[in-house]
Structure 1
Amino acid sequence: LIEYPIWDWDQKQRQNLPESLKVTAWRLHTSTVVELKQQAIAAYRSQITDLIDDDPAGFRLTAEMLANFTRPWEVYLEETR
């Protein structure tokens, strides 16, 4: 099982990380697509603006969380047995 911890970059949601003690973290080099990734995230205005303002349980990606997606690599977690 390999996981990409999108929401787990948010400290409030880190309890969603794998509980197994046998997890290997590894990086995937993505420097050639960082700009494309940022464009894709920006396309989801409902997640980065107040476009949806009638949902009290709604969310918005914070600047802190978005900063995690500007790196030239992505972190993946792989459960080992």
Structure 2
Amino acid sequence: MSRQSISLTRPNDEWLKEQVKSEEFASKSEVINDLIRKAREVEQIRKKLIAAEESGLSGKTPAQIRTDVKTRLKNAAKI
């Protein structure tokens, strides 16, 4: 794991301290890593939403879409 040195504004440092004080995290590093993981997840969701918007409208009916989703879920559960 790499070590980094960062500078924080007073409000951000206080917020980090409060997160650790609440005992949800053991250290400021854990808080930062959790924030980065969440930001990366949001970025992946954003990319998927953009790709979905750019793919255009579907010609399928709602019933066909539901059937396709159920089939994909069943197949995923088998893996």
Q: Shared fold by TM > 0.5?
A: no
Normalization by structure 2: what TM-score? 0.26
Structure with the bigger RCO (C-alpha within 8 Å, sep 6+) is: 1
Normalization by structure 1: what TM-score? 0.26
- The structure that has the greater radius of gyration is 2
Return the structure number with greater helix share: 2
